[in-house]
Structure 1
């Protein structure tokens, strides 16, 4: 389960906004006091009930003093969800997803009083529900569900086989019986307060299925409970308790059951004295999160309290925690997902540590069970992440914060806000499609002496550049090429038309600064001698020799790694890594000649040399 969208209404400076999230890493950027931390605070309040809001958190211009925080989650296809005390079900089968197929949960908080208490908060599911009965089946007690099932017995062929002690099974049977091809679906708001779930609070049940949310704030409270010390231990405690959730649920349910039993007997006895009062009473559990029961400290033995040490040291505790998390295998996570939200992770850190921090957080975000959110003022961090991970907050002419949606405008504002500069200042850049192409060209240049004598690609005045790179700095550098005198040599695979058209155009323009070639074969992997591949992968490729120029080598070979790597995309990338790194280093001149590609590849390096050494006029003539 991944958080994909957040909606805020009347929360602090935001009157009404919607933010879409990357399912891995999100970097929130904006000037001071624009509302970056507000986004994380809203998420913290949504996930963690112990975070109490105040009436002052309501937007001062709100006509109605009501705060709304909505979070939408993308579920895996068969992800089970425990929504009542019976058995797990999928939200799709219960028709509890919204029109976009997301689980959307909204907290509605009344901020019109002097304080905000538990009774001022309602939790709702926003869904696209079939209109087949008076109200959604999730709102009915098991007695009502049995009654509705009995009413429809004549149209339910397997009526006797249905487990009538489980509400989820009854609901599924009713959906199957009453749904038609022309059934109307309507936007529906389901209040969790109205779900009749045997007196157990439904929000508690649903919250246990949501991701754990850990917020690490940058505030300095300078006390024994300094958040930078407590929060890692609190996060660790929450994760450990989540792995013990089934056992804790059993204990909790036993306690609730016993207390309800005694409480109900007490109410029955009260009826002997005052039946009117007794009829107004019922036993309702007011349960706290398990992690509120435990508290752990990090202590030192040199009599210097940890919170009195330098801010850099305190932040290193956070870095160490994240590095420990990055080393954990995703299969160790028993919880469905964990969200890490970190304010300004670069605070009080040396640039080397800043790079280590962002590399670690990126690694964590790539794990299937993790998602990362950070705020930052540092250009070094912003330029290291992909454009799709960046969220830019700005203010309009009325000083109201908003999320910049237009892609080009977003990037321009980020570059302007953080003052990011290009990082390429070489004499020539060689542009290729991807990192595997870069590895292949570097290795082949180093492996074949004749090619290296023409032009040495390790020279500091030459940069190899991934044109398909998605990092912010890639966009900045590409624009820098256009505005500079840096010479460009483009080498692209011959299997993609848009790159062929790009090469044809730049060569037709013949501006003396840019020149390009596209390969005669499908991609770089097709230039690797077949016998090297057969030896490496212990396979026979002789039947593909006649079509080798257009053969999809990596897709064919990824099947060889099924046992080692389960994910298909990861397998294909692993194959490309082996081909373009390890095998490219084994290629010799004789093997290239035998493979019939030596002359074509020689032309690549000859053209590179012309572009690198020649003046604009020379390139125009020779190109």
Structure 2
């Protein structure tokens, strides 16, 4: 279950806004006081009933004084959800998804009173329902469903096998029997209270099946005191002591008992000196909490306490503690997915640490059970992520925050907002589709001496950039290519017709600066000799050799290799990294000749050499 949309109505500065999300990583970008943190706060209020909200959170211009926070989730195939009693049900089969087949939940908050209480909050499902019944079938009681089902007793073939004790089974049986191609559907909001079963609170049950959302805010104190560094250690100490509660209680009772006994013996001896004073005394234990006895510092190897280190390092520790606790809480609450929301993770960090943090968060977000939100003002971070992960917020003419949806305008405004400049300094740029293509080109040039003799890419003034599915940095640089005198060589895979059209158009223009080639094989992986792939992955590819030119190698390997990686997207990514990484370092000229692709690849490097020589006037560039 992944969060794919957020809907905000009358919440702080937002009037009526829908924000489409990336299933992995979302980077919110805006100038100060536009509404980045507001989105994260809204999600916190949606997911966590104990999150703070008051009447001042209602948009001051709204007339009805109702705040609405909506969230849309894409469910996995065959994912079941418990709505009534303990009977899992398919929301799709029950027609409880919206028009886009998303689970859409709206939290509506009445902010017209002086304060907001639990009674001020209502939860709705936004559904796309068949117009077959007087009210949504999910709201019928068990007795009502039995009565309704009995009306079709003679028409439903498997009537006797339908469980009359499970409401979900009866509902699905009715839908299956009554829905046809002529059935009309309409959008219908269902108050979650109308679904309530006597044995449970439906919203509590549904909420517990949603991703676990945890927010790390940027305005935490950042001093040398306990608040920043000691709090995590204190919390860890309390957690450990809680596990030892019974043993510690036993020790405490034994200490109190022995001290009281010795105290009584002392008082008895005192009576021999002065009975009046002795009678005024009593042993009273004054017991402090166990955690007050312990104080831990995180010292570095050179003996410097962490709270004397820089604020950036302290913040890294706090962020790590935040992650560790979030994952424990998720496990404790039986949540399968976790959403991390982190405000300005770059705060107080050196650029090297910024890159390390974002690389880590990107890796986390690509795992199946995680989704990450961050806000940032830093160009370095924005340039490291895919364009689809970037969300730009700007105020409209009425001052309401809105998402910039036009892709070109979004990218232009982000580069302007963050002050991102091109970073191209080479005379020639090789443009390929993705990062794996970059690795392929670099490795075969470096490890096949015959290609390196044509032109040494590593030592020439040449850069290689990937443009397909590119990040912001690549987008900026690509635009810069068009406005510069840099020579370009474009090498695209042959499996996508539009790339062939782009290359043909480029070559027809014959502007003397841009040149393009489309591979004769499907993609770079097809140029890797099959023998190397078989040895690396322990597979036999003989039966696919006749169709090798068009064979989807990563797709095939996903089905029969790396069984320890269960997420198919992660598996494909890893396979491509292996193919274009370590395997390309084992390629030789003889293997490529045997494979029948040596001359084609040599032709790529020969053309790059000719372009490079044209920029410098040199007769040779081999080194």
Q: Shorter-chain TM-score: what band?
A: 0.7 to 0.9
Quote the residue 1:277 is aligned against. Answer: none
Partners of 1:233 and 1:402 in 2: CA distance: 41
Q: Deviations over 1:122-168 (max 9, x none)?
A: 11111111222221222233233333334443434444333333222
SS in 1 for 2:107: strand
CA shift at 1:401, angstroms? 1.5
Change (3 A) 1:399 1:600: same
Q: Answer yes or no: is the 8 Å Cα contact 1:105–1:123 preserved in 2.
A: yes
Q: Deviations over 1:75-114 (max 9, x none)?
A: 1121111112131111112211111111111111111111
Quote the residue 2:516 is aligned against. Answer: 516
Quote the residue 1:265 is aligned against. Answer: none
Quote the residue 1:48 is aligned against. Answer: 48
* Structure 1 residues 426-575: aligned runs within 5 Å: 426-459=426-459, 461-538=461-538, 541=541, 548-561=548-561, 563-568=563-568, 570-575=570-575
Partners of 1:439 and 1:301 in 2: CA distance: 44
Quote the residue 1:285 is aligned against. Answer: none
CA shift at 1:365, angstroms? 0.8
Change (3 A) 1:314 1:537: closer
CA shift at 1:428, angstroms? 1.4
Partners of 1:512 and 1:428 in 2: CA distance: 13
Partners of 2:164 and 2:547 in 1: CA distance: 62
Quote the residue 1:87 is aligned against. Answer: 87
Partners of 1:600 and 1:221 in 2: CA distance: 60
Q: Does 1:72 align with 2:68?
A: no
CA shift at 1:220, angstroms? 3.0
* Structure 1 residues 127-526: aligned runs within 5 Å: 127-198=127-198, 200-220=200-220, 300-301=296-297, 311-321=311-321, 334-459=334-459, 461-526=461-526
Partners of 1:321 and 1:103 in 2: CA distance: 32
CA RMSD, aligned part only? 3.6
CA shift at 1:381, angstroms? 0.6
CA shift at 1:586, angstroms? 2.5
Q: Answer yes or no: is the 8 Å Cα contact 2:208–2:333 preserved in 1.
A: no
Partners of 1:39 and 1:299 in 2: CA distance: 37
Change (3 A) 1:326 1:600: farther
Q: Answer yes or no: is the 8 Å Cα contact 2:233–2:297 preserved in 1.
A: no
CA shift at 1:326, angstroms? 12
Q: Which moved more, 1:392-401 or 1:534-543?
A: 534-543
Q: Answer yes or no: is the 8 Å Cα contact 1:437–1:580 preserved in 2.
A: yes
Q: TM-score, normalised by structure 2?
A: 0.81
Q: Which moved more, 1:135-144 or 1:492-501?
A: 492-501
SS in 2 for 1:78: coil
- Decide which structure has the larger Cα Rg and report it: 2
Q: Answer yes or no: is the 8 Å Cα contact 2:24–2:370 preserved in 1.
A: yes
Equivalent residue pairs, number: 562
Q: Answer yes or no: is the 8 Å Cα contact 2:297–2:306 preserved in 1.
A: no
Quote the residue 1:589 is aligned against. Answer: 589
Q: Answer yes or no: is the 8 Å Cα contact 2:565–2:571 preserved in 1.
A: yes
SS in 1 for 2:83: coil
CA shift at 1:351, angstroms? 1.2
Q: Answer yes or no: is the 8 Å Cα contact 2:10–2:58 preserved in 1.
A: yes
Q: Answer yes or no: is the 8 Å Cα contact 1:326–1:364 preserved in 2.
A: no
Q: TM-score, normalised by structure 1?
A: 0.81
Partners of 2:229 and 2:128 in 1: CA distance: 42
SS in 2 for 1:83: strand
Q: Answer yes or no: is the 8 Å Cα contact 1:229–1:298 preserved in 2.
A: no
Q: Deviations over 1:377-414 (max 9, x none)?
A: 11111111111111111012222221111111111111
SS in 2 for 1:614: helix
Q: Answer yes or no: is the 8 Å Cα contact 1:299–1:306 preserved in 2.
A: no
Partners of 1:556 and 1:450 in 2: CA distance: 31
Q: Answer yes or no: is the 8 Å Cα contact 2:85–2:199 preserved in 1.
A: no
Q: Does 1:17 align with 2:13?
A: no
